[in-house]
Structure 1
Amino acid sequence: MTAMPEQTEAVAVQVRYFAGARAAAGVPEETVRLSGPTTVSDVISAVLDLRGEGLAKVLPACSFLLDGVAVRDRGTTVPASATLDVLPPFAGG
C-alpha cells in the first residue's frame, strides 16, 4: 500500500498594520496566502518578503494579535481566515 501525500490547504490570513507598521508597510492591510499548516512566524516572513526593508526595521519592536488575542509564541499555528494585527509600540500619556 502506498501512502498518499497529505493535501495541504492554503491558509489566507488578513494582516492589518497599525501606526508606524502601517507607514512602513505602505498599506493598511493585506491578505497573505500560505500553504498550511502556517505559524505566526510564517506570516511574518511572508509580509517581510512582500514589504521589504522598511517593515523589517519596525517588526522587531511590534507585538501581534491573532484574532484579537496577544501572541507571545511566534510558533503559534494560524487558522485559515485568521486576522493578524501588527502593533508597533504606542506612546501614551
Structure 2
Amino acid sequence: MTRKLPIPDETVSPVVRNLADLGRLVRNQRAHARLRIDDAASLSLVSPDMLSRLENGKPVTVDKLMLVLEGLGLRILVVPARALPRVESALRSSSQTTGA
C-alpha cells in the first residue's frame, strides 16, 4: 500500500502541552520535509509503528522521542509555565517578522 504524504499545516504551534500537540508537531515537520512515514522512521532509526504512535499522540519512550526529534531536525526547549506567555509572544513576533 502506498503511503501518502501529510499536508503541511502552517497553524501548528511549536508550543506542546500534551502528547496530541507533540504528535501534530512531529507529523507537521515530516510533512514539511516531504517524508513518508517509512522514510522518516528510517532516518530516525525507529520503526514506522513507533513513529505512527507518536504522531497519533500515544506515549513513546523518551529515547525514541529524542531519536525522532533529531531525525526530523527538531529540538526541545523546556520553559517554566509562568514564562510561556512571553515565549509565545516572542514566537508570534518572530513568525510575523519572517513571514512564516
Smaller-chain TM-score range?
Answer: under 0.3
Which has the larger strand fraction? 1
Tell me: higher relative CO, structure 1 or 2? Use CA pairs within 8 A at least 6 residues apart: 1
Which has the larger helix fraction? 2
Q: What TM-score does the superposition give when structure 1 sets the normalisation length?
A: 0.26
Q: What TM-score does the superposition give when structure 2 sets the normalisation length?
A: 0.24
